[in-house]
Amino acid sequence: MVAIVDTEAILRSLTLEEKVSLLAGGSFWETVAIPEKGIPSIKTTDGPNGTRGEDFNGNSSAACFPAATSIAATFDPEIARAVGSALAQEARSKGASCLLAPTVCIHRHPLGGRNFESYSEDPFLTGKLAASMIRGVQELGVAATIKHFVANEQETDRMSVDETIGERALREIYLRPFEMAIAEAGPWALMTAYNKVNGEHCDVSEWLLTKVLREEWGWDGLVMSDWGGTNSLAGIKAGLELEMPGPARVRKPDVVLEAIRRGEVQEKDVDERVRTILRFLVNLKAFENPGGPTPERAIDRPEHRKLIRDAGARGIVLLKNDNQILPLSLDKVRGKKVALIGFAKDALAHGGGSAAVNAHYKITPWDAFQNAYVGGNVEFTYAKGVRKERLLAPLGKNDQRGTVVGLDGQPGFTLSFYDPLNPTSSPTATKHGYETSAYSPLGSQESLWKVLELTGDFTPAETGNHCLAGSGIGKTEVFIDEELVIRQEGNFSDPMGVLFNAQTETEIRHPFIAGRTHRLRIRSYPPRNVGLEILEGRTGFRMGLALASDADADDQGEAVRLAREADYAVVFTGHDPQWETEGRDQESFHLPRRGSQDALVSAVAAANRNTVVVNSTGVAVAMPWLDDVAGLLQTWFPGQECGNSIVDVLTGSVCPEGHLPATFPRRIEDAPAYGNFPGTYDDGGQLKVAYAEGVFVGYRHYDRLSKDKVNFPFGFGLSYTSFSLEDMEVSRGTKDTFTVACKVSNTGKVAGGVAVQVYVGRAQQRVEHPVKCLVAFHKVRLPVGGARTASMLFTAKDFAYFDEARYSWVVDAGRYDVLLGKSAADIAQIVSVQVEHEIIYTP
C-alpha cells in the first residue's frame, strides 16, 4: 500500500531557513535533502540521447541513443516513446529520477550548434514527438524535463543574448511545441533557457512562467534553471522553483533571507515554490525511498542495443540514388572492391555537450561492413582522406602515439591540485593514473578554485616535429622538458567552447625524439570574471598532439588512389562532437575542416563514378558536390550502433524510410534567419538578434521561394521501393475536427515504410500567412504489394494563427486546402474544405 504524503503538513513543519534551502540544488546534479523533516534528495541526469550520470569525464558508461533529429526523421511517435522508456531505465541505472530531456527548441537556422539535440524546424512535428518521448519516460516513474523554455535557438552568447520576437511568432513557432507536449503528455519538469526574450531573461519572466505556463496552460510541474542560468532572486516570484546546479550561487540562503527581511522577496512566493518542489518529489515517489539516489551502474541491455540499431536505421534519409546504385547488396558487390573513405573508422554517434555520452561501445561503419559481408568475397580498402578533427586528440593512458607515465612511474598522468593563494607549495591533493591530457571541470567540485597541474613523461613512437596544442578556461601554460611552449595569458576568449571542446586552438610544432622521454606538464589556473557563472572558479584544460607523420600525410591523394582502384567508393563525411556541439554555433555551412571534406568528396567522385556519400550531421550542410555523386544518405547521429544502422541501410537489410525534419537549402544566404543570426552587438556589448522572419521558419519560408533555392525539402525521403497515395477523403467531425483518410500502397519490389504527411493552407493565399503548415503525419510500413488505409485526425487549432490584437488563436472563415504528400514539395492530392464561421481559441 502506497503511503499518502501530506505535502502541506511538511511545508508547515519547515522553518523559513529550511524552505529557502530547498530553492537551489544541493550539488551539481542533486537537490537538497532535509532528513530530519523526511525530505529526500533526488538526482537529475543528462540527457536527450543518453544518461551520462554525474561524471563528465565518462567513467560510467551508458547506452547512447539516436539524437533528436534522427528520431524526428523517423516521423514515428512510437519510436520516440520506446526511446523515452529506455532512457528512463537508463536514468534509474544512474540513480537518477529526473531526466533532463527532451530538447524542443526549433531549428531556426542551419548553423545552430544545438540543432541536432532538438527535433525539427516544424513545431507540430516537434511537439508530437516530444509528447511521445515524455510519455515513454514518465510511464516508468522518471520525470521528463522539457527544455529550454523558450527560444534557445543559438549558442552564441546564449547566456545573455537578447532576442526580439513578436508574440505571434513566439506562440506559433517557439512556444507551440511546449504547449503541445504539456497538453498531451504533462511533463513533470521544465527547464528555462539561458537567453533573454524581449529584454527579459527567461528564468525571471512572470509572463512566461506564470501567465502562459501556469495560468493559460494549466501546468503545475517544477521549473528549474538551466545550469548556471539563474539570474536574480526575481525568479522566486516569477515561478522558478529550483536554481541549478548547487550549491546555490544566486539563491544563497543568507542572501534570500536578507531579501525577505527587506521585503524584496515574499515568503508566500517561497512557500509556493517549495510546495511545487514537494509535489514533484511525490510524483517521483521519492518519499518512499528516503535513502536518496542509489549508486550508478552501467547496464548494457540487449533490448536497448536492438532498439538503438533499429531506430537509428529508420531515421536515415536516402537523399539521392541515381541508377539505383544503392543498396550495395552482397550480390551486387560480391567479388568487387569497395573503398571506404573518411569517417569510415569513426563512430559519429552523438553531438557534443549535454548530449555527449560515454557509450558502452560504438560500432564504426568499417566494422559493420566486415560483419555484414562475412564470407562474401568483398575486398575493402580504407583511407582517412582528410584531417577531420577541430582539435588535436589528447594523449591517453594507452596510446599508439607513445607511452605516458606519471610521477608514480605507472601508466597515465599525475594530476595535482594546488591552493591558488600559494600555488608553489605542496599540492593539496594528487591523483595518479589519470587517463588523459584533458580535464573537464563539470560534474564535481574538486577543481573549484584550485590550480591544476598535469604531469606525465611521454615517450613518442616516432621522431619528428610533432603538432601540439593546448588551452584552458583560465590562464594555462604547457611545458615540454620544462620549456614553456604554449602560454594562454588569461581566460580563453570562448569559455563555452573550451567547456565542450569546441574551441579553436593555435597549433605549434616541437621536435620530439622516438624512445626518449619528454616531460609534459600543463598548469592551469581557476578563471575569474569568465562571464559564465557556472564556470567561475572551475579549472579546466586540454592538450592535444598529432605525430608529424599524420600531420604531413597526403590523405586526399591516398583516398583518390584507392577510389580509382575500387568498383565502389563510399565517402563518410560529417561532424564529430567538436564540430557540432552545445556551446558553439557552426562556423560554416560547409563541412569542416576549411573545405577539406568537400574537396575530398569532389576528388573521389571525379575518380570513381560509383561514389556514395554518407553524411553524419545533425544539421543541413552545403553540398557543392551533389551533382557529382551517385548516392547520398543523411544519417544524423544514430547512437552507439551507428555503424550497424548505416550499413543496414547501405546493404538493403533495412529499406530507408526516413524523412527530413528540416529543409536542406542550397545556400546559407537563402535561410530564413540569414542576416539575423546570431545577431549584432550594440554599443554596450549586448548581443541582440531580431527574429525578423516572424513565423516564416523552415518550409514556411521556402514555400515562398523558387524551388531551386532548396536541395531537399522538409519531409523528403527516398526509398528502395515506391509508394502511391490515393483515394484521399476529408471528413468533418465537430466544428473544429477533421479526419483525412487515404489508401497507401507499396508499388515497389521490397517491403518498406513511408511517412504520409498532411498540410493545410488557405485556398486564397495571403502574404501574412504561410502557404501551408503540417497538421498530421502517419508512418505506414507495408510488404511488397501491400496496401492499407491511413487515417489521421487534426483540429482547426493545428492551422490557426495567433492574432496579437485579439490575444487569441483564430481560424478565419473561408476555404482551405488539405494537402496529402510525401514531403512539403511532393503533394499527391488536394481536397478543399470550407470553414463556414470564424473559430476562436482563447488562451
- Tell me the domains of the chain and their CATH numbers: 15-288 (3.20.20.300), 313-384+554-654 (3.40.50.1700), 398-490+508-551 (2.60.120.260), 716-841 (2.60.40.10)
Rounded-to-integer distance, Cα 508 and Cα 543, Å? 12
Percentage of residues in the chain having pLDDT higher than 90 = 88
User: What average pLDDT does this structure show over 734-750?
Assistant: 95
pLDDT at 504: 82
How high does pLDDT run on average in the chain?
95
Range in 232-241, 311-320, 322-331, 548-557 with the lowest mean pLDDT:
548-557
Q: Nearest 5 degrees, angle CA 822-CA 827-CA 833?
A: 115
The three-class DSSP label of residue 597 is helix
Q: Which of 52-61, 383-392, 551-560, 698-707 is modeled with the greatest confidence? A: 698-707
Which is higher by pLDDT, 355 or 25? 25
User: What average pLDDT does this structure show over 405-410?
Assistant: 96
pLDDT at 1: 43
Rounded-to-integer distance, Cα 550 and Cα 385, Å? 11
pLDDT at 118 over 90: yes
Range in 235-249, 426-440, 762-776 with the lowest mean pLDDT:
426-440
Q: Nearest 5 degrees, angle CA 551-CA 555-CA 560?
A: 170
pLDDT at 2 over 70: no
pLDDT at 452: 96
Structure confidence at residue 378 as a pLDDT band (50, 70, 90): very high
- Catalytic residue check, 76: no
Structure confidence at residue 3 as a pLDDT band (50, 70, 90): low
Assigned C-alpha cell, 831: 481536397
Structure confidence at residue 180 as a pLDDT band (50, 70, 90): very high
For residue 174, which of 163, 185, 161 has the smallest C-alpha distance?
A: 163
Assigned C-alpha cell, 585: 554555433
pLDDT at 832: 97
Range in 188-202, 223-237, 488-502 with the lowest mean pLDDT:
488-502
User: What average pLDDT does this structure show over 398-402?
Assistant: 91
Rounded-to-integer distance, Cα 468 and Cα 742, Å? 61
Q: Nearest 5 degrees, angle CA 592-CA 593-CA 595?
A: 80
Q: Which residues contact 683 (CB under 8 A, 6 or more apart)?
A: none
Structure confidence at residue 350 as a pLDDT band (50, 70, 90): very high
User: What average pLDDT does this structure show over 66-92?
Assistant: 98
Catalytic residue (choose from 157, 162, 203, 226): 226
Which is higher by pLDDT, 376 or 607? 607
Alpha-carbon torsion 353, 79, 317, 643, what sign? positive
pLDDT at 413 over 80: yes
Structure confidence at residue 532 as a pLDDT band (50, 70, 90): confident
User: What average pLDDT does this structure show over 406-426?
Assistant: 93
User: What average pLDDT does this structure show over 693-702?
Assistant: 98
Peptide bond into 700 cis (omega under 30): no
pLDDT at 52: 86
Which is higher by pLDDT, 54 or 302? 302
pLDDT at 734: 82
Assigned C-alpha cell, 431: 591523483
User: What average pLDDT does this structure show over 258-280?
Assistant: 98
Amino acid identity of 787?
A
Structure confidence at residue 720 as a pLDDT band (50, 70, 90): very high
pLDDT at 445: 81
> Within 13 A of 132's CA, how many CA atoms are on the CB side?
19
pLDDT at 60 over 90: no
pLDDT at 524 over 90: yes
